[in-house]
Amino acid sequence: MRKILIAIDGYSACGKSTTAKKVAAIFGYQYIDSGAMYRAVTLFFLNHHISITNPKAITKALSEIHLSFHVNLHGQTEIFLNGANVEKKIRKMRISENVSPVSTIREVRQAMVTQQHKLGKDKGIVMDGRDIGTVVFPEAELKLFLTADIQVRAWRRQQELLEKGSLIDLDSIITNITERDRIDSSRKESPLLKADDALEIDTTHITIDEQVDEVVRLAVSRIMKK
Ligand code: CDP
């Protein structure tokens, strides 16, 4: 069966990664969380006090950052920063509060997109993010753009964080995802945009299983297409 590229973009916390992980598992594809890459860069910048207005420091820092993805014993993909598993650290609010400004930096985006292209060169990839269907893989056979009501997104993110051991109040989550969406949608470099040929799925009133079924159905139709 031919392999395809599946690009899933959309606003913060609207179920992109949950869908992408499950769809990748069904097809035996690799799942790449591009947001994790921007989060790991943000962690490095914070830990090394890199100012986001200092281009020299940014270029030097990027040359010192090595990112890789590894699948753990439970079949989950985790991100490593310079050999250390940072999957848990990058999900903290401290990173969520700083990641969007870091993601506006052109040099950061260029470095990440170069790596993303390498990861997708043999296809058989589900990648989620903000610019996957528009900039990273404009040639992707299937492009999706997920949306959901802000209250539902915030509640889902609160549950996710709770499962990871952090109790964060709903208002802080709403403030964070609203602010990230604002910065991500209005930045100059690769803003969050629905690609013209992306299919929009509103996940507000559907379950994860329904969401996954719909994407699998669409992917099969693309795989079968000559
Ligand atoms: O999972 P969640 O929706 O919270 O966000 P994420 O996918 O982990 O992405 C975190 C942040 O990284 C976003 O708010 C964007 O600022 C940035 N990002 C980006 O600029 N481009 C991407 N392809 C993916 C993420």
Tell me the residue range of the domain where 148 lies. Answer: 5-218
Distance 224 CA to ligand 1 centre (A): 31
How high is the pLDDT of residue 1?
A: 85
Centre of ligand 1 to C-alpha 166, Å, is: 20
Helices 34-47 & 106-120, crossing angle to 10 degrees? 140
Q: How many domains does the chain have?
A: 1
Say what the pLDDT of residue 42 is. 98
Tell me the whole-structure pTM to 2 decimals: 0.97
223 part of a folded domain: no
CB 40 within 8 A of CB 67: yes
Expressed in angstroms and rounded, the spacing between residue 37 Cα and the centre of ligand 1 is 9
Q: Has residue 226 been placed in a domain?
A: no
Note whether residue 116 is domain-resident: yes
Q: Give, for all 226 residues of the chain, the pLDDT tens digit.
A: 899 999 999 999 999 999 999 999 999 999 999 999 999 999 999 999 999 999 999 999 999 999 999 999 998 999 999 999 999 999 999 999 999 999 999 999 999 999 999 999 999 999 999 999 999 999 999 999 999 999 999 999 999 999 989 999 999 999 999 999 999 999 999 999 999 999 999 999 999 999 999 999 999 999 998 6
Q: Which of 153, 158, 154, 131 is nearest to 143 (CA)?
A: 131
Q: Which of 99, 109, 110, 146 to mutate to test the pocket of ligand 1 (most atoms within 8 A of CB)?
A: 99
CATH of the domain at 208: 3.40.50.300
Compute and round to an integer the Cα radius of gyration of the chain: 17
For residue 73, tell me if it sits in a domain.
yes
DSSP state at residue 132 = I
Kindly state whether residue 123 falls inside one of the protein's structural domains: yes
Provide the pLDDT for residue 225.
87
Cβ of 89: how many Cβ atoms within 10 Å?
16
pLDDT the model gives residue 135: 98
**Is residue 138 classed exposed, middle or buried when 0-12, 13-18 and 19+ CB atoms within 10 A define those classes?**
middle
Cα-to-centroid distance, 5 and ligand 1 (Å):
19
Residue 165 lies in a domain: yes
In a domain, 139, yes or no: yes
Residue 11 DSSP label: S
| Domain annotation covers residue 224 | no
